[in-house]
Amino acid sequence: MRGQAITRDEFNRALYYAVREDLNGVVDEVNDGLIRRAIEYVESGNEFPDTPYVCLTSVAALARAANRRGIPVKR
């Protein structure tokens, strides 16, 4: 596995916080580290963990969270 390891539960929470952050329109300073780890995990070429929380809305929110942080999204 490439990138910083993240558990499925942590990834689910990061997706939740990314969607919530997307709705609020501001960077979630409290959960910034967790969201960054999820972005790094995906950008390192890892597959999304098998979880029901991975849907188009949450993936798009995670990509927008990366953009808010100035992290270029490769795919």
Domain ranges within the chain, ordered by starting residue: 8-68
Overall pTM surpassing 0.85 (yes/no): no
pLDDT of 64 higher than 70: yes
Model pLDDT for residues 9-50, shown as the tens digit of each residue:
899 899 999 999 999 988 989 999 999 999 888 888 777 666
pLDDT band at 7 (very low <50, low <70, confident <90, very high): confident
Confirm if 16 and 59 have CB atoms less than 8 A apart: no
* Helix, strand, or coil (residue 31): coil
Residue length, the chain?
Answer: 75
Taking the CA atoms of residue 66, residue 67, residue 69 and residue 70 in that order, the dihedral angle to the nearest 10 degrees is 120
